[in-house]
Amino acid sequence: MSLTNFRMETDGDGVAVFTFDMPDASMNVISESVITDLEAIAKTIAEDDAIKGAVLTSGKKAFCAGADLKSVFGGIEGAGAEKTGDERKQMIYEAAGRLNNTLRAIETCGKPVAAAINGLALGGGLEITLACHYRVAAEGAQLGVPETQVGLFPGGGGTQRIPRLIGAMDALQMMAQGRPVDANWAQQKGLIHEVAPAAEVVDRAKAWIKSGPEAKQPWDQDKFKIPGGGPYHPAGMQVFGGAPAMMRRETMGNYPAIRYMLSCVYEGLQVPMDAAIRIETRYFAKLLMRPESHNMIRSIFVSKQELDKGGRRPAGQSRGDIKKIGVIGAGFMGAGVANVASKAGVEVVLIDRSQEDADRGKAHIEKDLSKRVAKGRMAQEKADAQLALVTATTDYSKLSDVDLVVEAVFEDRDVKAAVFKQIDEHLPAGAVLGSNTSTLPISSLAESAKNPEDFIGVHFFSPVEKMLLVELIVGDKTSDHAISRAIDFVGKIKKTPIVVSDTRGFYANRCVMRFMEQGMSMLSEGYKPALIENGARMAGMPVGPLTLQDEVAIDLGYRVLQATKRDLGADYVETPVDPIITRMYELERLGRKNGKGFYAYSEDGTKRLWHELDQFAVNGVLEDQPDVSVVQDRIRYAQAIEAARCMEEGIVQDPREADVGSILGWGFAPFTGGVLSFIDTIGAKDFVARADELKAEFGAPFEVPQLLRDMAAKGDTFYARFGAKQSEAA
């Protein structure tokens, strides 16, 4: 037998150890060739009389990270694209069933098979071990099924074996949340049998085989009972009564992966394993053909990974390290940037106007670290080491050896210009000056810097610790070197960079403004606030537009409005939003920060919509409220049209960045795969037709750019038309 990804060694007692060790890879993943190997392994164990039992383990630090999603994605894109209907379905069903049938062959091979899980086992990696009769995992190993995060479900038998091992309730939670569990928890629940030091897992697995166990899974034995009961058991019935409602509340029915996963468990637990596996494979094949899984894998996994690896690094620039940075302004954003940078091992000079202000920024980091230590997520020494990397000071000369500076002082052009002057006195040659401004155009700010070519926008989102996107804004003179170093920095702090051009609001804020504007427009047209807020969540947004406006603060909205009016002068066009924001500002309803905005906030942490919002309905609250689908369309279309306009204007140039940016930056309905995938999936022609209807009814925000009309005429998609912007590092 020749294996590509496994080594085989049989000891004197006839125990064959198969060591998963993919050549030229740091991590094991499940690919076509791995499945081919597993088929051969299942056959060998069953047929070779010299083998009494087998152990599956890994030669790498982790056991296996799961399916190679890039190839799954390629498979979906390519799978029988030339075939149609049932033929394509059959082909995908057979491909999806290959791993499932192989794993079933392993567990029914008639000889004992144990998994020695020496480290992390995720997705299909964990599912391989679940098809073994015994599992021993290394202390601290993380085990999980994160598939739902990218629009899939555990389709390698996970939906059947996990509930049969730990009960439907825990299984559904584990699969829906996708968060890995610790080996000890897994043992307590019965997902694995034993926890041992990493160095001993293979010996323990061998010892189990040599104890002469029965080579049968619990579910293949007579009188097997599902822990906690199946669907027709009184306790099980409670789970299956509540779970669909709970999942619907979380997903609003937008994620077919969750729905199918639930069906797999419900239907599969009522039949023997072979039929259960067929049920799972059918749902999995059906899921693979849905646009949601295709789009989610593409944006959340494939594109994000490409961007994280520096996919948009300009040609000719090479990757470098960032060891030390300066952060100017130790306020809300600056302290957050210093926190994530020091967490990544970067030395930080944190400067503010006074020592007291700088110390306050450092205290924010200390507080965050203490919380993590108290929760047991971090060792005290590690926290101390991180804090020691941060120097809070007022002394700009400490910037003499930094690689990059992030300026995060007040949003005031003059204040920033004065700060740039002080930075420039000490900034070493080749170091990059980044501004975290959210509204000031980068090219004009760069004029106040000594070297505009080293100047770039580095736009973080709040809260910095949580938000994964950083928008890099390229000014007229920004050099490729500056872009490349900024990408180095964003990569170092484990966030995702997108590179955009200079415009008011850049990319993300421009689109998200349309979201909040629609919320307020609907309010002025007499839609009930609850309809607006719930409609937005049903459209897939994480929160409603009024909630979001409260979070970002209404005074900020007011100031942006004043600045825009000032800058545009006679060109400014009044919108229905202006009187609402102005009135709320005058009433000092500033949002969550002062406990009153579109919502009224109670001290116990609860909130409810402010009962006087009806005053904003210009012609009174509508007697006949519109269907929720109108709210959903208005919210999604307004944002997608703005994103398309950003593509037309070249503000974003790569569909991957537009999509990934929309999901990570402002939470645009992740199941769509992002703003442009949303349009591509509907099709430009149908999208434009619906947008034209919305424009006829609701006006200018639904005016589509010419680009979309051209695409509609040609039947183009964004991905086909613009492709992924290639660069050397991609």
Q: Mark residues 37-56: x for contact with ligand NAD by CB under 6 A, - for none.
A: --------------------
For position 460 contacting ligand NAD by CB under 6 A, the verdict is yes
For position 549 contacting ligand NAD by CB under 6 A, the verdict is no
For position 62 contacting ligand NAD by CB under 6 A, the verdict is no
For position 119 contacting ligand NAD by CB under 6 A, the verdict is no
CB of 653 to ligand NAD, least distance (A): 22
For position 444 contacting ligand NAD by CB under 6 A, the verdict is no
Considering the complex, state which of residue 407 and residue 680 has its C-beta at the smaller distance from ligand NAD: 407
For position 434 contacting ligand NAD by CB under 6 A, the verdict is no
Candidate list 178, 244, 291, 331; residue touching ligand NAD; CB under 6 A: 331
Cβ-proximal residues to 227 (8 Å cutoff; 6+ apart), any chain: 164, 165, 166, 167, 190
Candidate list 352, 403, 488, 642; residue touching ligand NAD; CB under 6 A: 352
Stretch that binds ligand NAD, among 159-167, 187-195, 295-303, 326-334 (CB under 6 A): 326-334
- Which helix (H) or strand (E) element contains residue 599? strand 599-601
Candidate list 22, 40, 330, 458; residue touching ligand NAD; CB under 6 A: 330
Considering the complex, state which of residue 109 and residue 552 has its C-beta at the smaller distance from ligand NAD: 552
Candidate list 169, 369, 408, 581; residue touching ligand NAD; CB under 6 A: 408
Q: Which amino acid, 437?
A: T
For position 436 contacting ligand NAD by CB under 6 A, the verdict is yes
Considering the complex, state which of residue 91 and residue 415 has its C-beta at the smaller distance from ligand NAD: 415
Considering the complex, state which of residue 165 and residue 419 has its C-beta at the smaller distance from ligand NAD: 419
Task: Report the site for ligand NAD in 622-661 (rule: CB under 6 A).
Answer: none
For position 334 contacting ligand NAD by CB under 6 A, the verdict is yes
Size of the site for ligand NAD (CB under 6 A): 22
Cα 152 → chain centroid: 14
Q: Which amino acid, 83?
A: K
Cα(76)–Cα(84) distance, integer angstroms: 13
Instruction: Quickly count: other Cβ atoms within 10 Å of residue 420's Cβ.
Output: 24
Q: At what angle do helices 706-714 and 684-698 cross, to 10 degrees?
A: 140
For position 328 contacting ligand NAD by CB under 6 A, the verdict is yes
Candidate list 5, 28, 44, 437; residue touching ligand NAD; CB under 6 A: 437
Considering the complex, state which of residue 143 and residue 556 has its C-beta at the smaller distance from ligand NAD: 556
Considering the complex, state which of residue 396 and residue 722 has its C-beta at the smaller distance from ligand NAD: 396
Which token pair is 341? 């940078």
Cα(301)–Cα(607) distance, integer angstroms: 35
CB of 406 to ligand NAD, least distance (A): 9
Candidate list 239, 261, 302, 333; residue touching ligand NAD; CB under 6 A: 333
* CA 239-244-248 angle, 5° bins: 145
Considering the complex, state which of residue 99 and residue 333 has its C-beta at the smaller distance from ligand NAD: 333
Q: Are 496 and 524 in contact (CB under 8 A)?
A: no
Instruction: Tell me the Cα Rg of the chain.
Output: 28
CB of 358 to ligand NAD, least distance (A): 8
DSSP string, 89-109: HHHHHHHHHHHHHHHHHHHTS
Considering the complex, state which of residue 330 and residue 643 has its C-beta at the smaller distance from ligand NAD: 330
For position 547 contacting ligand NAD by CB under 6 A, the verdict is no
Q: Are 138 and 113 in contact (CB under 8 A)?
A: no
Long-range contacts of 18-24 (CB under 8 A, 24+ apart): 18/54, 18/55, 18/56, 18/57, 19/57, 19/58, 19/59, 20/56, 20/57, 20/58, 20/59, 20/60, 20/63, 20/64, 21/58, 21/59, 21/60, 22/60
Candidate list 357, 359, 453, 648; residue touching ligand NAD; CB under 6 A: 357
Stretch that binds ligand NAD, among 17-25, 268-276, 351-359, 694-702 (CB under 6 A): 351-359
CB of 484 to ligand NAD, least distance (A): 22
CB of 411 to ligand NAD, least distance (A): 4
Alpha helices by DSSP H, listed for 438-593, are 442-446, 480-492, 508-524, 529-538, 545-552, 554-568, 577-586
Which token pair is 508? 């993300």
For position 355 contacting ligand NAD by CB under 6 A, the verdict is no
CB of 334 to ligand NAD, least distance (A): 6
Cis amide bond preceding 218, omega within 30: no
Q: Which of 279, 271, 133, 166 is nearest to 145 (CA)?
A: 166
For position 572 contacting ligand NAD by CB under 6 A, the verdict is no
Q: Which amino acid, 267?
A: E
Stretch that binds ligand NAD, among 37-45, 280-288, 352-360, 475-483 (CB under 6 A): 352-360
Q: Are 32 and 71 in contact (CB under 8 A)?
A: yes
For position 353 contacting ligand NAD by CB under 6 A, the verdict is yes
Alpha helices by DSSP H, listed for 231-354, are 234-251, 256-268, 273-288, 291-296, 304-308, 332-343
Instruction: Give the residue closest to ligand NAD by C-beta.
Output: 331
Stretch that binds ligand NAD, among 129-137, 277-285, 410-418, 593-601 (CB under 6 A): 410-418
Residue 459 among the catalytic residues: yes
Q: Are 430 and 305 in contact (CB under 8 A)?
A: no
CB of 323 to ligand NAD, least distance (A): 23
Cα(28)–Cα(622) distance, integer angstroms: 58
- What is the DSSP code (8-state) at residue 137? E
Considering the complex, state which of residue 334 and residue 529 has its C-beta at the smaller distance from ligand NAD: 334
Considering the complex, state which of residue 263 and residue 509 has its C-beta at the smaller distance from ligand NAD: 509
Helix, strand, coil tally for the chain in percent (to 5) = 55, 10, 35
Per DSSP bridges, beta strands 142-144 and 194-196 are unpaired
Q: Mark residues 281-300: x for contact with ligand NAD by CB under 6 A, - for none.
A: --------------------
CB of 329 to ligand NAD, least distance (A): 3
Cβ-proximal residues to 160 (8 Å cutoff; 6+ apart), any chain: 264, 265, 268, 269, 273, 276, 277, 280
Candidate list 133, 426, 459, 611, residue with the active-site label = 459
For position 363 contacting ligand NAD by CB under 6 A, the verdict is no
For position 339 contacting ligand NAD by CB under 6 A, the verdict is no
Q: Are 691 and 702 in contact (CB under 8 A)?
A: yes
Candidate list 126, 192, 322, 419; residue touching ligand NAD; CB under 6 A: 419
Backbone angles phi, psi at 700, to 5 degrees: -50, -35
The position carrying tokens 């090219």 is 443
CB of 276 to ligand NAD, least distance (A): 49
For position 555 contacting ligand NAD by CB under 6 A, the verdict is no
For position 438 contacting ligand NAD by CB under 6 A, the verdict is yes
Applying CB under 6 A, which residues contact ligand NAD?
Answer: 328-334, 352-353, 357, 408-411, 415, 418-419, 436-438, 460, 462
Residues annotated as catalytic (active site), given as ranges:
459
